[in-house]
Chains A and B, each alone.
Chain A
Amino acid sequence: MVLNAVKILGVSLVLTLVISVILLATLLPSVIAPNNASLNYKNVTVRTQVNITNSKPEVINVTVYDLLNSSNKNITVIAGGFKNVECNATLRDWNGFNDIVYVNATLWNLVGSSYVAVDNNNTHYTNYSCNTSGNGGGYYVNWICDFNVLYYANNGTWVCNITVMDNQSTTGFGNGTTIFYPVYALNVSDGINYGNAAVQDFSNNATANITNIGNMNINVTVEGYGGTRGDGLAMNCSLGGNITINNERFATASVDWSGKTPLNGTPQMLANLTLQKQFDSNVLSNTTYWQLYIDSANNPGGNCTGYIIFTAVTS
């Protein structure tokens, strides 16, 4: 009887031990992280686990270029018109490129503006409707944002900020830069017409308008000639004779003959006249005032014409 009890107790102990070992071997790893101690007991590897539900979208690269010629990474605005500028952003989302749902872009002048400034044709443009380029793959995709930049946009460094949002409304942003080149552009009115005047008489004031249609302030020089450069004449006449160059005068204000500057064959700066670049849609022009004295010395007869060169120089 006692023997049987000892036997049963022994079998039960063995079974309990086996069961414990099996349970430990099978269930424990899934409950407790295995701390694998190395032989010298200095390095311990701990299993950690985190369940990532969403990754923020990232802006990997932003390239800015001329839409009509994408190899032009720097921008030359079009005198008196607008230029199509494109920001091309390479985006990454570890949830897949198709997790990105919305992209907007801000293009601003680094010196004259900031990301948060309001739109201004000189320094700040915003595009709220960028489009995917349609060639996404894996985690990467390109989105493109276009801007119509006006001719008087400031030259210098511009920043294109791309802000990207995914399905979970998490956002990322990144910047690219470009250089807006200076463009020097001049619009001059259609000739100077002195009308009719008698010999040894002064003409009426005639005007010539000059307008800056670039993105740089410019100064202007004037010089004249009758038929060939450096001939010292203001005009050659159809019936022979001519008018010497100092008989043609100019000014930047409406003054009388004595207040005007005699023209000559070498460039003279239009004093006190810097053509500012335009700042808004109200185009500002500058008027120059011209007057001619019909000197009888060289027997001018018939119709007389000459040439005046307006030269734009950097201010």
Chain B
Amino acid sequence: MCKESISKESIIRLRGLSHRSRCWIFMVQLFFLILFTAVLSSAFVNAVGISVTKAYINYNDVLRGGYAEDILYVSTDAQFNIPISYELLGGIKDWISVDPDLNSPNVTILINNTKYQPIRIIIKPPADIPAGDYNGTVRILTGTLNKPSGQYGSQLQAAFMIKLNVRVTGTQFLSCSGGGIIIRDSEVGSPIEYYMTVSDTGNVRVTPTATVDIWNQDQTKLIMTRQVVFNNKEILPTTNQALSSSFSADLTVGQYWAYVSVAPCNNTVLTTFSIYEKGAIIDSGELVRLDNQPWAKIGDVVPIVAVFKNTGQRTVSAKFKGVITSDNKIVETIDSDFYDIAPGETGNIMVYFTPKKFGQYIISGRILYNNKLSFEKSSVLNVNEGVEAQGFNWAYVLIFIVIIIIILLLLIRIRRKKHSIHRL
């Protein structure tokens, strides 16, 4: 092996030495090479980066005896686990709490380059504190970032000072919003599941409820109204919470539309859901958009593509139904052929339209798939070139009749003149 490892040049230089000597020299060279590499690499320090996303946090209009929170994130690029802890400083440290409790003796919170740590800093001012501005500090500390070798060495830790400013008020205000509202498809006889997220942006806690008006598929008839409650769950100021509940509704198979009003936030959302036979596979889909060229000439055959995505679990047979209007008058109705679209696929349903007049045409419609209707979408077609077909004009007819009458009268007069000349 030693013989094989020695290059030709080395052999030339070491010519004259015995094979064993040459081998030893090579091994020594190799040892020093490895040693040099190790020393060199130890000279390059392996640094560790730590960051926090906030150094100042302002809590505005926190109610006396109230609650406010904010979240910051601590992250690192280190490939190994680094423990983190905290210290509270300043006059308001008794109001401050940290979640999760980084100082818990039972759990060590660790971060690494694949795991950052959200930290919730919570403020609870006492009920009898005067209104005004208060300051405090949270210090986030890491554990040791390294272990130096050698006889004497210091391990390094990083820390961040986060300054808190709390404005305490005695005035209540209510502000919230409800979003992410989903009413799940259900089977006949089963309760209907309802989901939403409420964000409390005021300084008092809210207990949200929802009123659901259920309409038929055409949205022409109100079927029923249901009040949804969430076990009197309270949303704390400055927080978001996902809520869910269910309600019973004696609905037959079909698609329904729901106007949802969230109290006390006063926002309304329209959504849809379906009731299926027991055990039925649920179909769902989305009319993504209507595509057509924006400009056309009179007489052009304009393709209109309804882009439909099948988001359900089985193939659906889909068609595009819509109308084309101009000046609020229906110019043409659209009723395409059925197209089969596989689950997860996006299909293009094409129809054609030939404009006969100048103007702007609004193309609007929905996809009918397995007896369900999608949300409506629309597009616009502008027609500004070409020759418009002339309509029937009664004025020309009248002029023509008048001319005929005049000619007839003149002929009668000429004939009478001739007749009188003959008599003379």
Contacts and interface: CB of A to CB of B under 8 A. Distances in A.
Interface string A164-192: 00010000000000000111111111111
Given A96-B382, A137-B289, A310-B156, A193 B150 contact: yes
Contacts of B153: 191-194, 303-305
Interface in B35-61: 45-56
A192 B146 CA distance: 9
A38 interface: no
Interface in A173-229: 181-197, 203, 208-209, 211, 213-214, 216, 224
A23 B147 CA distance: 106
B148 interface: yes
B262 to A, nearest CB: 17
A292 interface: yes
A18 B402 CA distance: 9
Given A12-B409, A187-B47, A182 B54 contact: yes
A165 to B, nearest CB: 13
A224 B154 contact: yes
B330 to A, nearest CB: 16
Interface string A28-63: 000000000000000000000000010000000000
B416 interface: yes
Given A134-B288, A138-B380, A185-B50, A314 B161 contact: yes
B213 interface: no
Contacts of A185: 49-52
Interface string B270-304: 00000000000000000011111111000000000
A21 to B, nearest CB: 10
A138 B158 contact: no
Interface stretch (B18-26, B224-232, B391-399): B391-399
B362 interface: yes
A189 B406 CA distance: 111
B48 A190 contact: yes
Contact of B150 (A27, A135, A194, A314): A194
Contacts of B160: 184, 186, 311-312
A12 B408 CA distance: 12
Nearest to B145: A188
A236 B149 CA distance: 15
B294 A99 contact: yes
Contacts of A136: 289, 379
B377 interface: yes
A98 interface: yes
A311 B150 contact: no
A95 interface: yes
Interface in A276-309: 290, 292, 294, 302-309
A97 to B, nearest CB: 7
A19 interface: yes
Contact of B47 (A197, A209, A216): A209
A79 B75 contact: yes
Interface residues of A, number: 76
A162 interface: no
Which of B47, B51, B364 has most chain A Cβ within 10 Å?
Answer: B51
B167 interface: no
B165 to A, nearest CB: 13
A146 interface: no
Contact of A138 (B55, B77, B163, B362): B362
A137 B156 contact: no
Nearest to A22: B398
Interface residues of B, number: 66
Contact of A190 (B47, B54, B378, B381): B47
Nearest to B141: A309
A133 B47 CA distance: 41
Given A76-B73, A99-B294, A292 B409 contact: no
A86 interface: no
Contacts of A309: 141, 156-159
Contacts of A167: 294-295
A233 to B, nearest CB: 11
Contacts of A272: none
Contacts of B289: 134-137
A139 B290 CA distance: 11
B67 to A, nearest CB: 21
B47 A96 contact: no
Contacts of A118: none
Contacts of B328: none
A228 to B, nearest CB: 13
B53 A139 contact: no
B294 A96 contact: yes
A92 to B, nearest CB: 11
A76 B118 CA distance: 13
B139 interface: yes
Given A248-B154, A308-B157, A314-B55, A191 B148 contact: yes
A201 to B, nearest CB: 11
A53 B380 contact: no
A194 B295 CA distance: 77
B413 interface: yes
A44 to B, nearest CB: 25
A258 interface: no
B362 A189 contact: no
Contacts of A312: 55, 158-161
A308 B151 contact: no
Interface in A217-266: 224, 234-235, 243, 248
A137 B154 contact: no
B152 A96 contact: no
Interface string B147-188: 111111111111111010000000000000000000000000
Given A138-B380, A312-B159, 11 more contacts: A18-B402, A137-B378, A137-B379, A184-B55, A188-B47, A303-B152, A304-B152, A305-B155, A307-B155, A308-B155, A314-B55
5 contacts: A187-B77, A188-B50, A189-B45, A191-B45, A235-B154
A-B CB proximity, top 5 nearest: A96-B380, A185-B51, A79-B51, A191-B148, A26-B395
Interface of B: 45-56, 73, 75, 77, 139, 141, 144-161, 163, 288-295, 307, 360, 362, 364, 377-382, 384, 394-395, 398-399, 402, 405-406, 409, 413, 416, 420
